[in-house]
């Protein structure tokens, strides 16, 4: 076992400093092309621009009649022709109207659509039921390019492709989309005490919940690829050979446990001895203070999260996933923060950035986003964690007043 002293690391005052520092040392992954339908959940590596105006021509927003407003002399107008979606518009006969349906092209020369409900219609004519003076040029017409001109950027590089983004991709992009390669991620849970969930446990054993927690977080993110989840005992040699192998096959390792000061906390030494550069070890946060971030010999991201389950949840979401987002090409990597008001502020403060588990208040009537502190007994309280929806971030030395606080979801 190695006994060299660990090098001194600069003191970091905020988790964002740690994220920034490690990301500065990690290259982004390479890119690949995927079919549009496989782009869901991936991260764009190209900017998507409109290849035609949106809408591509003047179309009707209503079912009704299209004509030239200054040709309306009485309330009666004859109708010749129909314009339907998916067909070119008919020619507008001077002084007459065209029957038109939603999404159909507006004939050249027509400058108003009067909606069907405002007319009495017959096969070859309609009569206006509203005052002619109430009609306006352009009414009920969606103008060519009013949503966006040709060549406008609609999705930027680094955007995660969700259902809304699929709309823009389907509308404007070519059949294959350039996205960042999925980061290959391995989860390693260390600890002699760990056994698989669902198995009978002796009193000194603990069912591994960090593994399943991280696995579910990784699997929810289509831009990540889980390559393996494994448990390792607290033995230097076993941990070293296991990590050495996994470094060969992955872009990122998520470890839990074994990063504190205990005699069996081998993770820092193993990483250092394998040639990883430790970027930070210990941050002024609770829970999760002993967290470690390192860069592997081939530029892999390595996050050593302290073993307590609440620490794992908080540090994974607040620190580890932002680092993985950087690798994966995201334009914005920090957790999405919702401003949340605490309904039960307890005025407690600690000299650390404090991640306090909270529950959403389903009964909120005020319209603002409200949360309540989950009663908990600290970072080992799996019961409180299981009942929580999110964390609020109480900055160092601030008392836990009602906020609003930055709040990030446990998902």
Residue among 206 and 238 whose Cβ is closer to ligand AMP: 206
Residue choice 64, 257, 296, 322 for contact with Mg ion (CB under 5 A): 257
Two tokens, residue 289: 């203070």
Residue among 60 and 379 whose Cβ is closer to ligand AMP: 379
Stretch in the footprint of ligand AMP (CB under 6 A) among 108-116, 237-245, 307-315, 383-391: 307-315
Residue choice 191, 293, 322, 335 for contact with Mg ion (CB under 5 A): 191
For the chain, the residue count is 411
Residue choice 309, 322, 357, 403 for contact with ligand AMP (CB under 6 A): 309
By CB under 6 A, residue 268 contacts ligand AMP: no
Name the β-bridge partners of 405: 340
Residue choice 140, 210, 300, 328 for contact with ligand AMP (CB under 6 A): 210
CB of 411 to ligand AMP, least distance (A): 19
Size of site (CB under 5 A) for Mg ion = 4
Stretch in the footprint of ligand AMP (CB under 6 A) among 19-27, 208-216, 291-299, 350-358: 208-216
Please answer whether residues 329 and 45 qualify as being in contact, where contact means their C-beta atoms are separated by less than 8 angstroms.
yes
Residue among 308 and 374 whose Cβ is closer to ligand AMP: 308
CB of 316 to ligand AMP, least distance (A): 12
Two tokens, residue 294: 């390192």
Stretch in the footprint of ligand AMP (CB under 6 A) among 108-116, 126-134, 155-163, 250-258: 250-258
By CB under 6 A, residue 306 contacts ligand AMP: yes
CB of 209 to ligand AMP, least distance (A): 4
Q: Is the peptide bond before 193 cis (omega within 30 degrees of 0)?
A: no
CB of 179 to ligand AMP, least distance (A): 32
By CB under 5 A, residue 284 contacts Mg ion: no
By CB under 6 A, residue 260 contacts ligand AMP: yes
Cα 295 to Cα 39, 40, 79, 144, 189: the distances in Å are 29, 29, 73, 51, 19
Q: In what order do the strands lie in the sheet with 252-256?
A: 224-232, 183-190, 252-256, 301-305, 292-295, 277-281
Please answer whether residues 22 and 280 qualify as being in contact, where contact means their C-beta atoms are separated by less than 8 angstroms.
yes
Two tokens, residue 151: 């060549």
Residue among 145 and 212 whose Cβ is closer to ligand AMP: 212
Pattern 288-307, Mg ion, x by CB under 5 A: -------------------x
Residue among 101 and 236 whose Cβ is closer to Mg ion: 236
Residue choice 258, 293, 296, 304 for contact with ligand AMP (CB under 6 A): 258
Which residues of this protein are in contact with ligand AMP, per CB under 6 A?
A: 189, 191, 193-194, 206, 208-211, 256-258, 260, 262, 306-309, 380
Which residues of this protein are in contact with Mg ion, per CB under 5 A?
A: 191, 257-258, 307
């Amino acid at each position: 076992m190695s006994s060299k002293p660990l090098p001194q690391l600069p003191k970091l005052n905020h988790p964002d400093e740690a994220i920034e520092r490690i990301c500065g040392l990690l290259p982004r992954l390479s890119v690949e092309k995927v079919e549009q339908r496989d782009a869901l959940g991936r991260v764009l590596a190209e900017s998507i621009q409109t290849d035609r105006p949106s809408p591509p021509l003047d179309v009707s927003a209503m079912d009704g009649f299209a004509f030239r407003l200054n040709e309306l002399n009485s309330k009666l107008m004859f109708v010749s022709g129909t314009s339907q979606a998916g067909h070119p518009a008919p020619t507008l006969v001077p002084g007459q109207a065209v029957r038109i349906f939603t999404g159909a092209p507006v004939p050249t020369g027509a400058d108003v659509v009067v909606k069907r409900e405002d007319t009495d219609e017959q096969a070859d004519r309609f009569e206006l039921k509203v005052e002619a003076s109430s009609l306006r040029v352009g009414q009920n017409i969606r103008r060519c390019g009013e949503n966006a001109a040709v060549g406008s950027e609609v999705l930027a590089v680094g955007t995660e492709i969700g259902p809304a983004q699929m709309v823009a991709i389907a509308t404007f992009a070519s059949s294959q989309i350039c996205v960042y390669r999925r980061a290959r991620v391995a989860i390693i849970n260390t600890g002699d005490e760990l056994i698989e969930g669902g198995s009978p446990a002796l009193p000194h054993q603990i069912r591994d919940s960090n593994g399943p927690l991280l696995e579910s977080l990784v699997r929810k993110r289509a831009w990540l690829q889980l390559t393996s989840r494994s448990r390792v005992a607290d033995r230097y040699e076993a941990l070293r050979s296991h990590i050495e192998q996994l470094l060969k096959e992955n872009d990122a390792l998520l470890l839990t446990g074994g990063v504190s000061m205990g005699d069996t906390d081998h993770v820092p030494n193993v990483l250092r001895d394998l040639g990883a550069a430790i970027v930070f070890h210990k941050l002024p946060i609770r829970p999760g203070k002993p967290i470690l971030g390192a860069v592997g010999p081939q530029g892999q991201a390595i996050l050593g999260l302290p073993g307590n389950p609440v620490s794992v949840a908080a540090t994974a979401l607040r620190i580890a996933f932002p680092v993985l987002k950087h690798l994966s090409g995201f334009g914005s990597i920090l957790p999405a923060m919702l401003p949340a008001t605490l309904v039960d502020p307890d005025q407690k403060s600690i000299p650390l950035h404090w991640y306090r588990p909270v529950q959403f208040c389903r009964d909120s009537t005020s319209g603002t986003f409200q949360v309540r502190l989950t009663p908990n007994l600290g970072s080992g309280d799996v019961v409180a964690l299981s009942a929580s929806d999110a964390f609020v971030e109480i900055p160092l030395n601030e008392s836990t007043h009602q906020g609003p606080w930055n709040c990030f979801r446990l998902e």
